Amino acid sequence: MSSVTSGGEVLNSGEPAESPRESAKARPQACERCWKRKQKCDRRLPACSSCQGLRVACIPRNQDFNALTELSHTYVESLKKRVGDLERDAQASSRKRLRTNSYRAESLDHCSSTSPPIAPPQLAASVSPSTSGQATKDGHEDSSVRATMGAIGFLSRSAMAEPGDHSDDLPKKFSLAEMISGALAIDGRDPSAACPAPSAPMIDSPVMSITRDSTGDYIKQFLDQAVFLPYLDKMSLLGQYEAVLINSQPHSSGSPSPMHIFNIYMALGIGLLISPGSSHLSMLSSGFRGFAVKQLPAIIRSEPPQEHIHCMIMLLLYSLYNSVGGSAWHLLGLTVKSCISLGLHREPDVHAALTTVEGNKRRWLFWTVYTLDRLAMDRPFSIQDDDISVRIPPEEDGSLVPTTTHDSSKKLSMSRYIIHHAQLVSSIRTRNQTDILLDYSNICHWRDLPPSLDRSPVPSFVELLEQLTCRALALLISPNHPTASDIGLLLGTVHDVELDVLSSSRQFVSRSYDRFIQGEFIGSFIEAYDIFQAAVICVCLTRRMNVAERNITKVAETISKASTLVTVISSKFPALAAFQRVLMSLSTRMMDDRNTSDGVSFLLHSELPFLLLVNIAFKNQLWEALLPIIPRRIQQFIRYTFI
């Protein structure tokens, strides 16, 4: 039988009405989107009201739930286990209190039967231990009650929290050893990216045995470059080297500590990388580094935190020269954060029980990390100068050993010199408006007053000073064209500063190329950035000159030398090959520059390296076409010079 409603709809009265439970089916738990946003979910099927209103997919959570409690089985089991542990602790505490009370009662009965009558003052004195025992008992009960109440609070908070089956692994994942392992597992072939390293067979032990004849030169090479590690004691490292040599001999009874093994094998690995003519020994260097990394878990467990920072510095130095070493920037960030957590950026407390040697080692350790943090041009700093209060160890007490040798004193002087350069670079980069007068005067003063170089322990220190000078002067040049209202300087005009930068850049590239011709060039990816920047600045500053002042021949020669050097370094860091393609495009553009007021623009595309964009509307696509590995400041130079 059917009936007609007031709206004219026909209803079938012979069929039973659909029940509300059947009409609105619900899933047993909130959907994935509502659960992540901690919002109420009506759990309707096929889609909840929230997801349906936003027109997004309503995805159910993939989790095994109990039909009765709607909680994960492992979560319920963990709560039950916690309750059982509390019950066992309560029973054990109750039995312990019963035994203690019985023992005290027997002791008091025995004392009352054997002790003679005593005077009232002595009675008061003899009662005090009982009172103390009662207080101890009450304190124990209070402690037990507090522990139980705290556990109850823990259970209450756990019951309100979201179920998590892997919460016990969270502290382990954030341990220092795990974070170091994660940084080492990142692919180092592209310093500007962070992606997992490709799977490769690991070398667990050195390929060749450790002997003085086969490894002595590499240890010496590492110590010659120890100007970057002023906190490192040369004599102590040589003593560790001797201990490792003795242990490597057959029938040796000694066993050096994991810290000593790590130091020597990392020194050998770095010494191999920076030794001229040893590029074919990269696998051996990787073997030394792999054996050293295996000592890290034992070092983190047994050594003080300052040694952990030293280990990260060694791993960082290795990653600058070999892409197998992992992500240098991740290691650097982790090292700076470790220094901050230990308070190394602050001057040690006057009341701290530190000797002069220990205090200076802390200072040198931080300033070493600070210098490494100021290396790259576009990377943000991990710590600002305003947050640093630790001082640089002065000349009179900067030694780490009681008797200062001439070479160690020279090394510390050069280390201070490099730290001052890092502070100059930091002040220029962090200032809102660059004061060319002040900055150029400071750089010239720093460049003209280097430490004494006679009998310097670093043979290539002159080349290092040229590299640092070129890096600092490049920060003074504005990427856009200078205006006609440039103020004059006491040392010249802005044009004079540009000529000084141009000359320094050419000299730095030429000296680096001469070392390559002599077989002494060992470049890190930091040097690739500096060489690439110097070549681009040469091109851009030459392009800004009048046509009569341009020396296209010298520019082409500089670009050719820089391209060769970048190609050599890109054999270890393949992503840096983009630098070479940019330089070739710049060379083509300069050689073909006859004219040009027609607004022709050029652009380096990731797949079409020599693409010329004729339409001026394509300027906005410049940043999308340039590779991310090219620093932003270099991109600005190219854009403002050629567009």
- When pLDDT is cut at 50, 70 and 90, the band that residue 338 belongs to is very high
Write out the DSSP string of 356-367.
Answer: HHHHHHHHHHHH
Helix, strand, coil shares of the chain as percentages rounded to 5?
60, 5, 35
Determine contact, residues 461/414, Cβ cutoff 8 Å.
Answer: yes
Q: For residue range 495-548, what is the model confidence (pLDDT) as tens digits? A: 888 899 999 999 999 999 999 999 889 889 999 999 999 999 999 999 888 877
Q: For residue range 554-569, what is the model confidence (pLDDT) as tens digits? A: 999 999 999 999 999 9
Task: Let me know the angle formed at the C-alpha of 20 by 19 and 24, rounded to the nearest 5 degrees.
Answer: 125
Q: Which residues are bridge partners to 2 per DSSP?
A: 12
Average pLDDT over residues 175-195: 87
Q: How far is CA 176 from CA 101, 171, 318, 423, 600, in A?
A: 48, 10, 19, 29, 53
At the top level of CATH, the class of 21-63 is few secondary structures
> 493-506 burial, b for 16+ CB within 10 Å, e for fewer?
ebeebbebbbebbb
Residue 329 burial (CB < 10 Å; 0-12/13-18/19+)?
A: buried
Domain spans of the chain? Answer: 21-63, 76-114+142-162, 176-419, 434-594
Average pLDDT over residues 442-454: 81
Query: What pLDDT, on a 0 to 100 scale, did the predictor assign at position 75?
Result: 60
Given a cut of 90, whether residue 76 has pLDDT beyond it is no
Query: What pLDDT, on a 0 to 100 scale, did the predictor assign at position 163?
Result: 47
Report the C-alpha gap between 211 and 242 in whole angstroms. 10
- Return the C-alpha torsion angle 243, 244, 245, 251, nearest 10: 90
Query: What pLDDT, on a 0 to 100 scale, did the predictor assign at position 526?
Result: 93
- Which of 390, 294, 308 is closest to 348 using CA atoms? 390
Q: For residue range 255-297, what is the model confidence (pLDDT) as tens digits? A: 889 999 999 999 999 999 998 877 788 888 999 999 999 999 9
- For the chain, the distance separating the N- and C-terminal CA atoms, rounded to the nearest angstrom, is 84
